[in-house]
Amino acid sequence: MYNFEYQKAGSVADAAKAATGEAKIVAGGMTLIPTLKLRLASPSKLVDLGGIKDLVGIKAEGGGVTIGAMTTHAAVANSAEVKKAIPALADLAEGIGDPAVRNRGTIGGSVANNDPAADYPAACVALGATIVTNKRKIAADDFFTGLFETALQEGEIVTSISFPAPEKAAYQKFRNPASRYALVGVFVAKTKAGVRVAVTGAGEGGVFRKKSFEDALSKNFSAAALDGIKVDAKGLNSDIHASADYRAHIISVMAKRAVAAAK
Amino acid sequence: MPTTVSMTVNGKKVSGSIEPRTLLVQFIRETLGLTGTHVGCDTSQCGSCVVHVDGKSVKSCTILAAQAEGSDVLTIEGVAKDGKLHPMQEAFRENHGLQCGFCTPGMVMSALDLVKNNKNPSEQQIRDWLEGNICRCTGYHNIVKAIAAGAKAMA
Ligand SMILES: Cc1cc2nc3c(=O)[nH]c(=O)nc-3n(C[C@H](O)[C@H](O)[C@H](O)COP(=O)(O)OP(=O)(O)OC[C@H]3O[C@@H](n4cnc5c(N)ncnc54)[C@H](O)[C@@H]3O)c2cc1C
Ligand code: FES
Ligand code: FES
């Protein structure tokens, strides 16, 4: 690791002021610290959000939930509010990494990082979540803009994420057998406005919606409704773990399982 | 630019002058000389570095010492009391839950966090909980048995 300065921010305003130029925010550090160890990043300063109490916590609101950016994956997985409003979201959090990672990693860090194999981006997009920052509110559809790319600007900090409750939803993840990240993860949400399907792990540009599945499921919410809908392998990842064709096939399988499991 | 960190480790107040990039595991091993916490992978995957920070299991190779400022840290050295092994440690010995022992401190610390939240874990729950703890020797079977026995002994 290259050396850097370290600052514990006292407030979001403090952090926003400090996190400019070569400085970087650190939340749970479960992505950033491994990156620093590999010398893939060399920030001049780390600005730690760890002391800002306002960023931690889960509120039930208007049938859905609002989750503070510094809330850990373990807290989401064990939250009575989340289990009641959106059980699929608690299940997703429980499936991230391992217990020690879930005790440190945060929802804000996960969405800000937008790893193409991360789980939360699929939930945000399928549930039509709103990402709240210190500057504005951004619809999930507009937030995730590409591989490790988001709509966040310099000095912009995710403060919370609001998830409206769906009628039913489920997340199904086909784990990479070594890393346990999603080789393919599919989040299906049946909402009043129709069905939304988001796919992570598979796309060259990160999370994406699967329109043909959404249309079929909006007419008939059953696994059989997806029979015969071909998933094009174009634009999907090919790597040593799986070819694009294989990922295309697994997208269908995971989507059907998610529909069957939705509650 | 060295900074000072202070925290409580195994019930004792400690502090040290460190570079900001110092990992908690380096502070524990190199500054405090507590070498029971191991570094197996350094890529956040193996769990041999697991300690408790404010009562929760974390990978001490993936948290800066500065992030643990003011925290209450428990390492494997703080688990036995008055020269007597903790029931979970005793269960690892009884059930042959270790061979080379490299992964064992992390296994025990993870197991203690599991039992804190789940007094009577099933075999499947134990196996799921060990997702982030890798053992190159035992094949896990006796570790799972040891944790089940340790949980019973702690009840
Ligand atoms: C062994 C292991 C297994 C894992 N498995 C999975 C998995 O299966 N699925 C999965 O989804 N993830 C997995 N992860 C990643 C984990 O979920 C991370 O916790 C998460 O991606 C990042 O959150 P963090 O709080 O640790 O962020 P950090 O590492 O602290 O930060 C990540 C990035 O986001 C920025 N950032 C953080 N918070 C904010 C904020 N509030 N506003 C603006 N920018 C911010 C930082 O500057 C940094 O660039 C795994 C990690 C490890 C180590
Ligand atoms: S040394 Fe920390 S997880 Fe392997
Ligand atoms: S006993 Fe040797 S690594 Fe587990």
Closest CA to A151 of A170, A135, A167: A135
pLDDT for residue A62: 87
Q: Are residues B15 and B71 in the same domain?
A: yes
| Residues B111, B73 share a domain | no
Whichever domain contains B120, its CATH number is 1.10.150.120
Alpha-helical regions (H) of A19-119: 32-37, 73-78, 80-85, 87-94, 99-104, 107-113
Domain closes at, from B78, B109, B138: B78
Ligand 2 atom nearest to B47, measured from its CA:
3
Q: How far apart are CA B92 and CA B148, in angstroms?
A: 10
Domain check: are A68 and A115 in the same one? yes
Do B96 and B35 belong to one domain?
A: no
Residues B94 and B147 in one domain: yes
| A173 and A118 co-located in one domain | no
Q: Are residues A70 and A87 in the same domain?
A: yes
Please indicate whether residue A177 or residue B14 has the higher confidence score (pLDDT): B14
Same domain, B91 and B60: no
Instruction: Collect all residues with Cβ–Cβ distance below 8 Å to A136 and sequence separation of at least 6.
Output: none
Task: With a cut of 90, say whether residue B2 has pLDDT above it.
Answer: no
Residues A172 and A159 placed together within one structural domain of the fold? no
Closest approach of chain A CAs to the CA of B92, in angstroms? 20
Domain count, chain A: 3
Task: Indicate whether this complex's ipTM tops 0.85.
Answer: yes
Residue pair A125/A196 in contact (Cβ under 8 Å)? The answer is yes
Q: Are residues B58 and B113 in the same domain?
A: no
A222 and A251 share one domain:
yes
Q: Do A195 and A151 share a structural domain? A: no
Are both B71 and B133 inside the same structural domain? no
* CA separation for the pair A179, B60 (Å, rounded): 19
A26 SS3 class = strand
pLDDT for residue A31: 97
Q: What is the CATH number of the domain that holds A40?
A: 3.30.43.10
pLDDT per position as a tens digit, B93-106: 999 999 999 999 99
Tell me the residue range of the domain where B114 lies. Answer: 87-154
- Please provide residue A135's backbone torsions phi and psi, each rounded to the nearest 5 degrees: -115, -30
pLDDT at res. B42: 84
Task: Please tell me the number of Cα atoms within 13 Å of A158 on its side-chain side.
Answer: 32
Write down the pTM of the prediction: 0.97
> Residue B154, exposed/middle/buried by CB under 10 A (0-12, 13-18, 19+)?
middle
Do B10 and B65 fall into the same domain? yes
Ligand 3 atom at minimal distance to the Cα of residue B100: 2
pLDDT of amino acid A178: 84
Same domain, B73 and B124: no
Distance B83 CA to ligand 1 centre (A): 40
A52 CA → ligand 2 middle, Å = 27
Domain identity same for A10 and A101: no
For residue A61, the cross-strand partners are: A64
Q: What domain range includes position A15? A: 5-48
| Mutate: best of B21, B103, B125, B130, partner A, most A CBs <10 A | B21
| Cβ <8 Å between A1 and B21 | yes
Does the Cβ of B139 fall within 6 Å of ligand 3?
no
CATH number of the domain within which A124 lies: 3.30.465.10
Per CB-CB distance under 8 Å, the chain B contacts of A37 are 42-43
Q: Does B57 touch chain A (CB under 8 A)?
A: yes
**In a shared domain, residues B45 and B95:** no
Could you tell me if B39 and B97 lie in one domain?
A: no
CB of residue B134 inside a 6 A radius of ligand 3: no
Same domain, A23 and A113: no
| Domain end residue (candidates: B26, B55, B78) | B78
- Taking the CA of residue A52 as centre, how many other CA atoms within 13 Å lie in the half-sphere pointing to its CB? 28
* Domain CATH code at residue B61: 3.10.20.30
Q: Spell out which chain A residues touch chain B, with contact meaning CB-CB distance below 8 angstroms.
A: 1-6, 8, 26, 29-30, 33-34, 36-37, 46, 48, 50, 74, 97-101, 103-104, 180
DSSP conformation class of A38: T
* B65 shares its domain with B8: yes
Calculate the average pLDDT of chain B: 97
- Inspect the interface and report whether the beta carbons of A98 and B62 lie closer than 8 Å: no
Kindly determine whether residue A29 and residue B67, on different chains, have CB atoms separated by under 8 Å: yes
Which residues of chain A, if any, have pLDDT below 50? Answer: none
| CATH number where A253 lies | 3.30.390.50
Domain identity same for A156 and A175:
no
Q: How far is the CA of B40 from the centre of ligand 2 (A)?
A: 5
Rounded to a whole number of angstroms, the distance from the CA of B54 to the nearest CA of chain A is 11
- The distance from CA A7 to its chain's CA centroid, rounded to whole angstroms, is 26
Q: Atom 1 of ligand 1 has which residue's CA nearest to it?
A: B45
Q: Structurally, how many domains does chain B consist of?
A: 2
How much distance in Å is there from the Cα of A237 to the middle of ligand 1? 21
pLDDT for position A158: 98
